[in-house]
Structure 1
Amino acid sequence: MTAGRRPGCADFTSVVDRSMVRNTRHRVAIHEWFEEAATASPRERAAVHESGEASGAYFGAATPTEEIGGSDATASGRAPKAMIGYVTRRTVAIVPIMIGVSVLVFLMLHLIPGDVAEIMAARSQAGGGPEAVAKMRHELGLDVAVHVQYLRFAGKALRGDFGRSYYTNRPVLTSVVEMLPYTIRLALAAMLITAVGGVGLGLLSAVYHETWVDRLAMLVSLGGLSIPIFWSGLLLILLFAVTLRWLPITGGEEWQRLVLPAVALGYDGAAFVARLTRSSMLEVLRQDYITTARAKGLRAAAVILRHGFRNGLLPLVTLAGLQFGRLLGGAVVAEAVFARPGVGRLVIDAILFKDYLLVQGVVLFVALTYAVINLAVDVLYAWIDPRIRYT
């Protein structure tokens, strides 16, 4: 630039071009370093490390760690301890959550109109007279104050005793454990449909952005957002069970009886996953390293799946954890529509008969499952993205 002359547009463009060239060379050097390190044999890595070359260069390229100005040895030593501390704090934080959930459920059930003692006394041989109702209330422990009832329940729950069902007279924990495999089977099948369908629609919509494929995929996902589970379940029953007679409607043993409720439940979650995948991938595909990968001549599938999809995976992992907990709640509706056995059907019957202890046991189990899944998702972050460190 000539002295005394103000910088013009051409000078500014040349400066930007030189800066882009330097950044591109830096990224290419790092990429080559990782490729050489990945293809080297363990004997070659050990020889380089013992000769001292690894401290400054690795296979002829400067290590990214040294250019940043730090060493990973100390960080890798602190990582397990930090992770253990983080998991411990999160596990302890689950305790007040469970206490709050138990209190809210306990109070809500006692605010529902009706008296379970009157209902059970009317069903018994003693009849529904005042004396029979008072006796039944005493037997059920409902003749004391509400806070005393809760403290009794909480004390037994800490010992693993959630009481016995008012109607079946069976332990609550036994009833939940018996129905749990059916609900887990349904939730896993629905989660598979949610992941495959949602991610597939989202990727197609992002790759073919602003085309008819994009619009069709978003229209399909809009249906999942708009149609409630019970209505989509009824439509599936009408089409595949009544009209075409391809699949059975009710039951929970054979895999054929799992298809319709899993599709109804999974379609609802796939809509959220598809839209989040689309927005995440559109943001990732605009990044500079994607342009560099394409300029190197990599195949489109490698660019999208290997370089793009993994970097857009974190939001999907978060949503996947939330969706699995949501599927456990949605299983209540699906099991009711398709008359399937499971925890959802169990809690509906318990609510209808005002079986307090059974409802509390089911809700606490679902809340605990939800909290554990969220903790597992947070821990999974560090495995997907090594840059994430917990303190």
Structure 2
Amino acid sequence: MRELARWCLLRIGGAVFVLWAVATLTFFAVRLIPGDPAEALLGGPGSQTSPEALAAVRVQYGLDQSLPVQYLAQLGRLLTGDLGRSYALKVDVAPLILSQLWGTLILAICALAVAWLIAVGLVVWATRGGRVAWAIGSGIEIVAAALPSFWLATALIVLFSSWLGWLPPISTPGPIGLILPMLALAIPLAGFLGQVMREPMSAALDAPFVVSARARGEGDIGIRMRHVLRHAALPAISLSGWAFGSLISGAVVVETIFARPGLGRTLLNAVTVRDVPVVLGVVLVVALAYILMTITTDALSRIVDPRVRNA
């Protein structure tokens, strides 16, 4: 019980530090972009806004104060759970993010599940088929992991929309519109997961418990799926926490290409107009999702591998 409490306290402390670091880096990164934020709020450099209007906007949003004062004020609002109000959209940031969060989470979760299915199927096939299957599987994993999401998304649109006409080129409501964005994110991740599972699965096939299972008359598929896969999945489970964060980050490009509503497009639009509250809110939500997923994968590792729990 004491070790569990210590583990929880360490995770909570690490989460608080990560959220503070993310908020700090994001705030200064957005504010250090060249240009006048007040001018961006009023339509950009070509808007020909009067000096009086610029001064009024600076006072309204506290932009007339020094950068450290603005940072401390923003941090104080975040500590109270107030994400602020969008500069450009003139709406509260929290409801705006919540309205876009579900679509991005569905996309990331489905992409992670599909990536696992592809990786497990490829690794099981490669380890059963001999040297030829091993070489082909290894090549597929390397190529898949190297594919950029934006290029893959474009290729999927050309293949399945322009040539075959099977799927819509933009994301439509319902499961059909989710397929291409999901594959654009899942295929590269499947390459990474397959690479980290291949060697542990191959090593586990020579372990004594496999010999015992074969002696009990268990079939090859049962041995691989019930016993060997548990050992091979440990590195991939640890990788899934990082992978989930990368999927949400990759959604910025994929959602833009497929015109899919979500946090990615919201973040891109907010950065374009230097909408600091929206940028901070989206990045903090993404960081929180990454932290929760990392804690979940750590807990799964402790459940799957008793050695981690007893360490």
For Structure 1 versus Structure 2, the TM-score category normalised by the shorter chain is over 0.9
Q: Which of 335, 355, 379 is equivalent to 2:255?
A: 335
Structure 1 runs not aligned, ≥5 long: 1-79
Q: Which of 64, 83, 94 is equivalent to 2:15?
A: 94
Aligned AA (1:380): L
Alpha-carbon offset, residue 300 of structure 1 = 1.0
Give the greater-gyration-radius structure (CA).
Answer: 1
> Runs of 4 or more off by more than 3 Å in structure 1?
none
- Give 1:305's aligned residue: 225
Contact 2:198/2:232 (<8 A) preserved:
no
Alpha-carbon offset, residue 297 of structure 1 = 3.5
- The one-character-per-residue Cα deviations of 1:55-95 (angstroms, maximum 9, x if unpaired) are xxxxxxxxxxxxxxxxxxxxxxxxx4421331122112211
Contact 1:117/1:137 (<8 A) preserved:
yes
Query: Which stretch has the larger CA shift, 254-263 or 108-117?
Result: 108-117
Aligned AA (1:184): L
Q: Which of 117, 126, 142 is equivalent to 2:63?
A: 142
- Give 1:318's aligned residue: 238
Aligned AA (2:231): N
**How large is the Cα RMSD of the aligned pairs?**
1.9
- The yes-or-no answer on 1:384 pairing with 2:304 is yes
Rounded Cα–Cα distance in structure 2 between residues aligned with 1:355 and 1:88: 34
- The yes-or-no answer on 1:151 pairing with 2:88 is no
Rounded Cα–Cα distance in structure 2 between residues aligned with 1:114 and 1:375: 39
Query: Which stretch has the larger CA shift, 174-183 or 240-249?
Result: 240-249
- Give 1:254's aligned residue: 174
- Give 2:140's aligned residue: 220
Q: How does 1:175-194 map to 2 (within 5 A)?
A: 175-194=96-115
**Residues 229, 122 of structure 1: alpha-carbon distance in 2 compared, 3 angstrom cutoff:** closer
- Any idea what SS the aligned residue of 1:389 has? helix
- The yes-or-no answer on 1:113 pairing with 2:54 is no
Alpha-carbon offset, residue 301 of structure 1 = 1.5
- Give 1:132's aligned residue: 53
Contact 2:303/2:309 (<8 A) preserved:
no
Question: Whose relative contact order is higher, 1 or 2, with alpha carbons under 8 Å and at least 6 apart?
Answer: 2
**Residues 121, 387 of structure 1: alpha-carbon distance in 2 compared, 3 angstrom cutoff:** closer
- The yes-or-no answer on 1:234 pairing with 2:151 is no
Alpha-carbon offset, residue 296 of structure 1 = 4.2
Alpha-carbon offset, residue 111 of structure 1 = 1.4
Aligned AA (1:323): A
Rounded Cα–Cα distance in structure 2 between residues aligned with 1:296 and 1:120: 71
**Residues 91, 363 of structure 1: alpha-carbon distance in 2 compared, 3 angstrom cutoff:** same
Alpha-carbon offset, residue 120 of structure 1 = 2.7
Aligned AA (1:163): G
Alpha-carbon offset, residue 131 of structure 1 = 2.1
Rounded Cα–Cα distance in structure 1 between residues aligned with 2:64 and 2:146: 46
Aligned residues: 310
Rounded Cα–Cα distance in structure 2 between residues aligned with 1:311 and 1:225: 22
The alignment's TM-score, normalised by the length of structure 2, stands at 0.94
Rounded Cα–Cα distance in structure 2 between residues aligned with 1:141 and 1:297: 74
- The yes-or-no answer on 1:292 pairing with 2:218 is no
Rounded Cα–Cα distance in structure 1 between residues aligned with 2:99 and 2:42: 28
- The one-character-per-residue Cα deviations of 1:192-241 (angstroms, maximum 9, x if unpaired) are 21010011112222232412x22222222222122210111011101111
Contact 1:87/1:375 (<8 A) preserved:
no
Contact 1:86/1:390 (<8 A) preserved:
no
Rounded Cα–Cα distance in structure 1 between residues aligned with 2:227 and 2:299: 22
Q: Which of 121, 124, 130 is equivalent to 1:200?
A: 121
- Give 1:56's aligned residue: none
Contact 1:202/1:276 (<8 A) preserved:
no
- Any idea what SS the aligned residue of 1:387 has? helix
- Give 2:285's aligned residue: 365
**Residues 122, 370 of structure 1: alpha-carbon distance in 2 compared, 3 angstrom cutoff:** closer
